[in-house]
Structure 1
Amino acid sequence: MKSSGISSATAPSPQGAHPPTPSRKSFALAGRSVTLDPQTHAVRPDLADVRLADRVFAPHYAAHVPHRLKSDAILRAAREPDSDELTQLGSGDLFELLDLLGDTAWGLAPAAGLVGYLPAAALEPVES
Structure 2
Amino acid sequence: MPDRPEPRLDPRLHAYREDLADARLAGRVEARRWSEGRPAQVAAGIVALHRRPEPAAPLDSQLLSGETLRVFETRAGWSWVQNEADGYTGYCRSACLSAEVRAPTHRVVALSTPVFPEPTIKAPSSERLSFWGSLAAVGERGRFLERAEGGWIFAGHLAETGWREPDRIATAERFLGLPYIWGGRSGLGVDCSGLIQLSFAAAGRAVPRDSDQQAASEAVGRALPLDAVPERGDLVFWKGHVALALGEGAVLNATAFPLMTVIEPLAKLHARACQDSPDGVVALRRPE
TM-score by length of 1: 0.69
Q: Which has the larger radius of gyration?
A: 1
Counterpart selection for 2:11 from 32, 35, 38: 38
Q: Which has the higher contact order (CA 8 A, sep 6+)?
A: 1
Contact 1:34/1:56 (8 A) holds in 2: no
2:55 alignment partner in structure 1: 81
Any runs of at least 4 consecutive aligned residues in structure 1 with deviations exceeding 4 A, and if so which? 30-34
1:51 alignment partner in structure 2: 24
Q: Structure 2: state its 5+ residue gaps.
A: 103-288
Identity of aligned residues (%): 31
Letter in 2 for 1:80: E
Within 5 Å, which residues of 2 pair with 1:87-126?
Answer: 87-126=61-100
TM-score by length of 2: 0.32
Contact 1:68/1:125 (8 A) holds in 2: yes
Q: Separation in 1 of the partners of 2:60 and 2:78?
A: 15
Report the number of matched residues: 99
Displacement of 1:36: 1.9
Contact 2:39/2:99 (8 A) holds in 1: yes
Contact 2:21/2:34 (8 A) holds in 1: yes
Letter in 1 for 2:35: A
Contact 2:18/2:30 (8 A) holds in 1: no
Q: Structure 1: state its 5+ residue gaps.
A: 1-29
Q: Separation in 2 of the partners of 1:65 and 1:34?
A: 27
Q: Separation in 2 of the partners of 1:125 and 1:38?
A: 25
Q: Separation in 2 of the partners of 1:62 and 1:31?
A: 28
Higher strand share: 2
Higher helix share: 2
Assess, with a 3 A threshold, how the Cα gap between structure 1 residues 33 and 60 changes in structure 2: closer, same or farther: farther
- Secondary structure of the residue aligned to 2:95 is helix
- Secondary structure of the residue aligned to 1:121 is helix
Letter in 1 for 2:48: I
Q: Separation in 1 of the partners of 2:101 and 2:10?
A: 31
